[in-house]
């Protein structure tokens, strides 16, 4: 999250300690952002995906979902930070989207669709 200098970053699952629940992590983020104006609450979900070919070639892809942190948690779908993350272009949190809507814009969906494309291109180049 930009206002938190990139926290929780790659440690998002262990933010506030390994025993913290998703709800505790969300509330911890909201507490740290109390009083931060909307324009500074920008954040993103990011996923990196990799495939190593039998020959040792590495195919890499990344997906991001830009958005902002809400003032309060909302929704029951998803997990992790979904109840406080509002994707860019939406007025609801990821936890309020249907699974189909979420998959279409999620960082994981984007990363693995990009990786699948690279894998198809790799196979085509081999003549498979």
**pLDDT number for residue 79:** 87
- Compute how many other C-beta atoms are within 10 angstroms of the C-beta atom of residue 92: 13
Per-residue pLDDT of the chain (128 residues; tens, 9 = 90+): 678 888 888 888 888 888 999 999 999 999 999 999 999 999 999 999 999 998 899 999 999 999 999 999 999 988 899 999 999 999 999 999 999 999 999 999 999 999 999 999 999 998 87
**Residue 42 DSSP class:** E
Cα(23)–Cα(63) distance, integer angstroms = 25
**pLDDT number for residue 115:** 98
Name all domains of the chain by residue range, CATH numbers in brackets.
2-126 (3.90.950.10)
Cα(115)–Cα(104) distance, integer angstroms = 15
Token pair recorded at residue 6? 């990139």
Which H or E element spans position 60? strand 58-69
């Amino acid at each position: 999250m930009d206002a938190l200098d990139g926290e929780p970053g790659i440690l998002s699952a262990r933010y506030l300690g390994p025993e913290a629940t998703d709800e505790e992590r969300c509330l911890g983020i909201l507490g740290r952002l109390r009083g931060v104006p909307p324009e500074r609450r920008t954040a993103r979900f990011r996923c990196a995906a990799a495939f190593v070919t039998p020959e040792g070639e590495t195919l890499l892809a990344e997906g991001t979902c830009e958005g902002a942190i809400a003032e309060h948690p909302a929704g029951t779908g998803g997990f992790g930070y979904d109840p406080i993350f509002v994707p860019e272009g939406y007025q609801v949190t990821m936890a309020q989207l249907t699974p189909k809507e979420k998959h279409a814009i999620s960082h994981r969906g984007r990363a693995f669709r990009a990786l699948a494309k690279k894998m198809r291109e790799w196979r085509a180049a081999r003549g498979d």
